[in-house]
Amino acid sequence: MTHTLQPGNPEATPAPETTDIPATRAPVAAPASSAAPASKVPAALKRRIPKYSDLAPLMQFKTPEFSKEARLKRASTIWELRDIAKRRTPRAPFDYTDGAAEEEITLRRAREAFLDIEFRPGILRNVSQIDLSTDILGRTSRLPVGIAPTGFTRMMQSEGEYAGSQAAEAAGIPYTLSTMGTASIEDVAAAAPNGRNWFQLYLWTDRDRSLELIERAAKAGNDTLMVTVDTAVAGARLRDVRNGMTIPPALTLKTVLDASYRPAWWFNFLTHEPLTFASLSRYTGTVADLINSMFDPTLTFEDLDWLRDTWKGNLVVKGIQTVEDARRVVDHGADGVILSNHGGRQLDRAPIPFHLLPEVKEAFTKDNTDAAIMLDTGIMSGADIVAALALGSDFTLIGRAYLYGLMAGGRAGVDRTLQILEKDMARTMALLGASRISELNPDHVRLLRR
């Protein structure tokens, strides 16, 4: 008695038991029904007429939304906010924000620097909770990013500095008002009374006017003075030259034609308080002429000593582009440095802050200094911020990124900018295996070279 299996089919059912068949007996043919059945089509793959009950859950037609809130919500990146801003803002103010000096090589390189990195994630870390808070200049910031000083801000969108300072207050981050701002120190303090307000200073040839601003900033509760040192003369911002950019914007035939495509901007511009420099005397003319007429090309480190003696709060120097200068300003009393090439708006082909960062961090470590290292220029995502923090920056600042949000939707647009960056940062850190800022380190980032 034997059991047999069909060759090559280990899952076949064993054949029934049989007895030996005499050799003289003819073999019996297998019945036709015993042949292997044809492969069956799974029920899920059989075609059928769809039922309404199957289709109903799929028919989720929504009424198109054209509100500002819906428009901003659809933006998932800073680049998408930039696209909205470009559609809604006249060319001259948009290009003033978007452009840089000469051939704009510095700005392109700054953005490429953040693209030319490789993240190196750690695995099997508990990242169920991400803490993005960090300490900067003696106080805690809920996010490791603040709003950089920007001039003429109400020209970009009528809410201007008020939108920026209030959004920063709500987000728990610092806001920096520019000397070239279009809202006064006192008005910004009143608009965001619980915010952390910083003041950015351009040292003028008229020291008495500089001293007046310093005293006003202190009286209004600003805890940090940020002095910008890379504007001995104005950079050649060729987009502004081509657009005939003036302060305030001039109503020429060209601007009127441009306005016909952006009526909301012009309506806001013409129905709000006239655009002026809140910290300066009333001025009419080009931006470059204003800078060249007001700012002092004779500044030296002795002037920094004067500022240190005059200002009792945190003193930060913005516009550092070499390791040597970073060390020198700290020796002259600076509590922090901002590695910055003015967003590429001054010297074209200037050093890239992100590339300079590891060298400055190494130098400060050797010097055993606790001066803060901050960085701006080229930041367009939360991943950019995380990369800067990993390579040694204590804090970052955004200018264009926040202005794109402002132009896209006023205060709500700035809020959206910060929401996008916060979400980007939290996701990037979780994927890197870091649950808090202090866990980021240079091992998380590798710089690639073109």
**Beta-bridge partners for 247:** 285
Tokens 């840089």 locate to 100
CA distances for 208 relative to 10, 152, 205, 285, 299, angstroms = 98, 23, 9, 24, 15
Q: Which residue has the tokens 């009143």?
A: 190
Q: Is 342 a catalytic residue?
A: yes
- For residues 377 and 343, the answer to whether their CB atoms sit within 8 Å is yes
Preceding amide of 248 cis, omega within 30: yes
Determine which helix (DSSP H) or strand (DSSP E) holds 75, and give its type and residue range. none
Strand partners, 395: 374
Residue carrying the six token digits 């901003």: 72
Q: Taking a C-beta distance cutoff of 8 angstroms, is the pair 178, 201 a contact?
A: no
Which of 375, 374, 372, 389 lies closest to 335 in space, CA to CA? Answer: 372
First to last CA, the chain: 77
Q: Which residue has the tokens 């040597």?
A: 324
Q: How far apart are CA 249 and CA 286, in angstroms?
A: 10
- CA 187 – CA 181 distance, rounded (Å): 11
The residue from 3, 272, 332, 342 that is catalytic is 342
DSSP-assigned letters across all residues of 74-114: H--SHHHHHHHHHHHS-HHHHHHHH--STT-HHHHHHHHHH
Q: Hey, what are 411's tokens?
A: 């205060």
**Phi, psi torsion values for 351, nearest 5 degrees:** -60, 150
Known catalytic residues?
342
